[in-house]
Structure 1
Amino acid sequence: MSNLKYSEISLILKEQLSNFQFESKLSESGIVIQVGDGVARSFGLNSAFYGELVEFDTGTKGIVLNLEEDHVSIVLLSPSKDIKEGDIVKRTGKIFSIKVGEGMLGRVVDILGNPIDGKGPIEGKLFDMPLERKAPGVIYREPVKEPLQTGIKFIDSMIPIGKGQRELIIGDRQTGKTTIAIDTIINQKRFYEEKNPVYCIYVAISQKGSAIASTFNLLQEKGAMPYTVIVSAKSSDPASIQVFAPFSGTSIGEYFRDTGRSSLVVYDDLSKQAVSYREISLLLRRPPGREAYPGDVFYLHSRLLERASKIIKDQKMAEKMNDIPESIKKEVKGGGSLTALPIIETQSGDISSYIPTNVISITDGQIFLEKDLFHSGVRPAINESISVSRVGGAAQIQSMRKISGTLKLDQAQFRELESFSKFGSELDTHTMDILKKGKINIEILKQSPYSPYDIAEQVAIIFIGTKNILKNIPIDKISIFEKEYLFYLKEKHEDLLSLLRNGFLNDKISRTLEKVALELSNKYVS
C-alpha cells in the first residue's frame, strides 16, 4: 500500500464502498489511510473544517490542518503509536480550545490546560477559550501609554515597555534572554501585593523538562508563582504541541485581558515554534520556501502577536469586541491589556535572517543582546544602540522620562567615541570626560540576574549618573557606592522615594539626591 498514491487509495476505497450508503457517515467520520511522524491522513471527514478538533477510536485527539480533494491531513496532539491504518476518526464539530480560569494561577499546565505539576485538578470555575482567535480591531484598542515596569534599569530607562506592547527579546544562545523575561515576571510581585496585578504566562517551547522545573522553582522561590501560569511544551513532545503552545498561552492571557485586567505573556522561544511548524508543514507536503520554512510562517507569528493589545476602557464597546467566546461574555470588562515578550534566538548575532526579520517587523521594538557584551561582563548584555521601543517615553513615569531623556544619546556618543579611542593615542579632555561618563553609566546600568529594581531606586541612581556627579569615583567602586547610596535613601528618605515612584521630580528632590550622592561619594574619591 505504501507505493500507492492517496488518490489511488481513495479510488479503491470508493469502489469497495460503492454499494453502501456511507456518504452521510463519511461526512462525519473518516478512515485512517496512513499514519506516521505525528501526522495521520484520513479518507472521509468530508464536512470537516480547517482547525477542527477530531478524535480517534483510541481517544487520541488531532487537528485538521490540510483539506485535500481526496483526503484530509490531521496533526496529532499526542504520540501516534496507538493509531493504525483502518482506524476510524470522528469529527467533534469544535475548534481547538483550552479551559482557563483563576485556578490556573500558580500551576504548570499543558497546551490543553491540564495540570502537569502533580498538585491535583485545577479548582474553581473554568471557561472555554479558543486557541485561534481574531485580534481586536483598531476601534477596540487604546494607545499604549501605561508602563509595564521590568525592574531592569537598562530597559525601564532607555527601552521602556508599555502595557499592550509587543517587545522582542533577541540574541544568541546563552546571552540572558530568558533572564530578562523572568526578571520582568518577578518584578510584577510588588504590583500583585499592591492589588494592581499583572498576571504572567510563561510559555516554555521545546525546553528540557529539567529547565522548565528550574524556572518553576525559581519563580516559586521569588514569590512570583501566585500570579503566574507556566505552559509547558517539552522538547520530547510532538512538534504540534510546540506549535500550539504559544496560542494556549495567549488564550490564557486573553482571559485576563478581556475580564479587564493586565496580563503578560512570554514566548520562550518562537524560533523553536517556527522550526516545529516547518517540520509539520513539510510532513503535510506543503511547498517549502525560504530556508525550507513554509510561506505562511510570517502569518503564524503575526496572528499570534497581533492579539497583544490595550483594550478600550468603555465596557459597552469592549463587549462588542471580535470573537468573544460565549463562556466569558458576561465577565467582559474594558481597560484590560495583554503584553507580549517574544524571544528569538539568532545565529552569530545575525538579525537579518528569515525568522528574526519576520518577528522584528511584527513587534513594536526589540531588545538586542550581544554575546561580546555578555562576555565582557556587561549584564544584561543589551546593545542600546540597536535596541528600540516604538512606544518610547509614552510608557514611562514622568520622573524617569525627565532623567533618561539624554541617557540614550550620551551612551550612543560614548559607544562611537570608544571605538575611535582604540586607534588614537592622545585624547582631548572633552573626549576623556565623555568616555569616563559613559563607563560610569554602564556600571550603573549593570545588574545581577533575578534582582529587579524598584522604579524609584532606578530613577535615583540614573539621575546622578546623567548629572555626572560620580566622575571622581573609580569605576571599580561604582557598584559599592550604588548599594550604599540606595540603602541610605531607603533608610533616611523613604518619602522622597515614594514621590519618585509616583512620577514627581522637582528641583528640591533633585538637590536632595545630589547632596546625598556628593556626601557619600567623598570617601570613594581616590
Structure 2
Amino acid sequence: MVTICADEISKIIRERIEQYNTEVKIVNTGTVLQVGDGIARIYYLDEVMAGELVEFEESTVGIALNLESKNVGVILMGDAKPIDGRGEISASESRLIESPAHGIISRQSVYEPLQTGLIAIDSMIPIGRGQRELIIGDRQTSKTAVATDTILNQQGQNVVCVYVAISQKASSVAQVITSLQERGAMEYTIIVAETTNSPTTLQYLAPYTGAALAEYFMYHERQTLIIYDDPSKQAQAYRQMSLLLQRPPGREAYPGDVFYLHSRLLERAAKLSSQLGEGSMTALPIVETQSGDVLAYIPTNVISITDGVIGGNRIDCFLSWFREMSR
C-alpha cells in the first residue's frame, strides 16, 4: 500500500497550478465560404448560437443571424466611431445591446407625467414616464419637431434623453443637433445616428444601442426618454439583410420576425418598481406613413405594441394652434 503525505500532495497541486495555461483557446472555428454586401457565409461553425459575436481575422466582428444546416449567415459590423469630432469615448463599463424586457413584478403602474411642452398634447394625450407613445404621420407633418420639443422641455427635469436617428439624412440630423445645442439641451442628450450612408447592419442595430444607453441610466435610478426616428427604416434595413440571407418573405415581403424586431425593442420601456430604484424609460417611436396609410404592415405592428398614438395631421393642427396662441 502506497501512502502519500500531505506535503507531497500540496507539492503536486502547486506544480499543476504553475503549469496551468490561462490563455483562452478558441476551439469553435469555421471557414469563410463567401463574403459580400456585408454578409459572410461560414462553413463548420457548429456550436455558434443566434445573436452571438463571431470574430474574424484583422479584428473584424460579425453577428450570427442565420443558422442553416450547412453554413451560418453572419452580418458584418462596421467601425462604430464617435461622429461629433470630440475624440474617442472613454468608458469603464459596457452593456449588451439587447437585454430581455422586465416582467410585471419588476414594474409598477405609470403615475408620473412626462411633459412634452405642447399644451394640446399634454392636456388631451398625456404621456406618462415609462409609457410607449407612437408619433405617426406622413412626411413633413412635424413629427420630429414634437420629439425635439419634448427633449427641450426636459431641461431642468433631471431626465436623460436619447435620440436615435435611423437612416436619416446627415443634414437632417445636423439640424436636430444644432437646435438642441442652441438651447443647451445637449448637456443631457445623447445622439445615436446611423445615416443613409451607414451600413444596413448598423441601421438595424442603432435602436438597440440607444435602448442600452437609456437602460443604463434607468437602472441607476434615473428618468430617461428615448426617441426612435424611425422604426420603419430599421425594418427596411432588416429586410435588406434578410434578402441577402435568403430568408423567406412574409406579409408585404417583410420577414416574418419583423414584428418581434420592434416588440422586443419597445417592450424594454418601463417604470421600474421601488425595489429597483423607480427609474423609468419612456419611448417615443416615430413612424412615417405613405398617404396616411396607417393600415400598412409596419404602422399596424408598432400601433399594436405602443400604448397610444399621436397622429401626424393632428400634430400640425396642434402646432399651428399653439403658435397662434403664443403670438
* TM-score under structure 1 length normalisation: 0.56
Runs of 4+ residues deviating >2 angstroms: 378-381
Question: 2:249 aligned with 1:288, yes or no?
Answer: yes
**CA distance in 1 between partners of 2:203 and 2:55 (Å):** 20
Distance 1:26 1:119 in 2: 36
State the match for 1:44 in structure 2.
44
Q: Structure 1 regions of 5+ residues with no counterpart?
A: 1-24, 79-109, 192-196, 319-333, 382-442, 448-477, 484-526
Q: Over the residues paired in the alignment, what is the CA RMSD in angstroms?
A: 1.8
Query: Hey, what does 1:261 align to over in structure 2?
Result: 222
Which whole-Å deviations, capped at 9, do the CAs of 1:281-323 have from their partners, x for residues lacking one? 1111111011110111001100000000000012xxx3xxxxx
Determine which structure has the larger helix proportion and give its number: 1
2:11 paired residue number = none
Q: 1:368 and 2:311 equivalent?
A: yes
Residue 30 of structure 1: how far off its partner (Å) = 1.5
SS in 1 for 2:70: coil
CA distance in 2, matches of 1:36, 1:275: 19
Contact 1:27 / 1:44 at 8 angstroms: preserved in 2? no
CA contact (8 A) 1:26 1:44 kept: no
- Which of 294, 308, 311 matches 2:272? 311
Matched, 1:154 2:115: no
Partner residue in 2 for 1:209:
170
Q: Deviations over 1:393-422 (max 9, x none)?
A: xxxxxxxxxxxxxxxxxxxxxxxxxxxxxx
Work out the CA distance in 1 between the residues paired with 2:136 and 2:62.
32
The aligned counterpart of 2:133 is: 167
| Cα contact 2:121–2:318 (8 A) shared by 1 | no
State how far apart, in whole Å, the 2-side matches of 1:160 and 1:57 are.
Answer: 52
Q: After TM superposition, give the deviation of residue 380 of structure 1 in Å.
A: 2.6
Distance across 2 between alignment mates of 1:51 and 1:122: 25
Retained in 1: the 8 A contact 2:169–2:196? yes
**Aligned equivalents of 1:238 and 1:291: distance in 2?**
23
C-alpha separation between the residues in 2 aligned to 1:224 and 1:62?
A: 35
| 2:28 aligned partner | 28
Identify unmatched segments of 5+ residues in structure 2.
Answer: 1-24
The structure with the largest alpha-carbon Rg is 1
Residue 211 of structure 1: how far off its partner (Å): 1.9
* Structure 2 partner of 1:380: 319
- Is 1:74 equivalent to 2:74 in the alignment? yes
Distance 2:26 2:211 in 1: 34
Alignment of 1:302-381 (within 5 A): 302-314=263-275, 318=276, 334-370=277-313, 374=316, 378-380=317-319
**Partner of 1:214: helix, strand, or coil?**
helix
SS at match of 2:274: coil
- Mapped to 2, the partners of 1:27 and 1:341 lie a distance apart of 44
d(CA) in 1 for partners of 2:92, 2:66: 31
Other structure's SS at 1:161 match: coil
Task: Tell me, yes or no, if the aligned pair for 2:120 and 2:318 is still in contact at 8 Å.
Answer: no
**How many residues get paired?**
303
Higher relative contact order (CA 8 A, sep 6+): 2
Instruction: Give the CA deviation at 1:26.
Output: 9.2
Match of 2:55 in 1: 55
- Which residue identity lines up with residue 40 of structure 2 in the other structure? A
Equivalent in 189, 205, 212 of residue 155 of structure 2: 189
- Retained in 2: the 8 A contact 1:27–1:48? no
Partner SS for 2:152: helix
- In 2, Cα distance between the equivalents of 1:294 and 1:281? 7
